[in-house]
Amino acid sequence: MKLINLKKTAISGIVLFVILIFNIIPVNAKFSPDMELQNPVLGRNLPAAASGNAPIDSPDNAHQAVFIVNVVTTIYSPVDGAYPNNPGHGTGFFIDPNGLAVTNNHVVAGATQITATVEGYSDPLAVEVIGTDECADLALIQIKGSNFRNYSGR
């Protein structure tokens, strides 16, 4: 039962992530704690990131729970063979302040190294894959650290 609730939470998080990121935050946005983002859909500014690590309770601030997933993979070509050490990137969304997060399975599948670039941290953080669902293209990951901003949905 706990696994079902965890999957529901993960699916809810990724759905919210997709809705918020692709409909609210501009693709070329660069984030910093003191900036405001113009929302092209709603035509209004999003508030600057709040200080502290309290859960985010407003969809307008959900971008604070997003991070970049950095991967290194080996690409295989039937003609040329293996191409090791290919960098790739994706995004993730914190669903828990202790580092539990959701990303896409295709981002982490086959990765030999995975780290996360999180706002407020100078170095990339280690990532462990907890579980994946290839059909739903979801991956549940654990970022090493604590007190991350997560979306509470309240």
pLDDT digits (tens, 9 = 90+) for 80-97: 888 888 899 999 999 889
- Tell me the pLDDT band of 13, cut-offs 50, 70 and 90: low
d(CA 91, CA 127): 13
* 124: its two tokens: 């990339």
Residue 77 confidence (pLDDT): 86
- Calculate the CA dihedral of residues 33, 35, 143, 91 and round it to 10 degrees: 180
pTM flag (> 0.75): no
Give, in order, the Cα–Cα distances in Å from 67 to each of 56, 91, 152.
14, 6, 16
CA dist 78 → 11, 96, 109 (Å): 34, 41, 19
CB 68 within 8 A of CB 104: no
The answer, yes or no, to whether residue 36 has pLDDT greater than 90, is no
Q: Is the pLDDT of residue 103 over 70?
A: yes
First vs last C-alpha separation in the chain: 23
Task: Please name the residues in contact with 50: beta carbons below 8 A apart, sequence gap of 6 or more.
Answer: 56, 61, 64
- Given this model, what pLDDT does residue 20 score? 47
Quick one: which of 54, 57, 62 has its CA closest to 16?
62
pLDDT at 59: 75
**Portion of the chain with pLDDT greater than 70, in percent:** 62
- What pLDDT is attached to residue 23? 42
pLDDT tens-place string over residues 115-135: 999 988 889 999 999 999 999
CATH tag for 2-26+63-143 (out of 3.40.640.10, 2.40.10.10, 3.40.1080.10, 3.40.50.2300) = 2.40.10.10
User: Percent of the chain having pLDDT more than 90?
Assistant: 37
Within 10 A of 9 (CB to CB), how many other CB atoms are there?
Answer: 16
**Residue ranges per structural domain of the chain:** 2-26+63-143
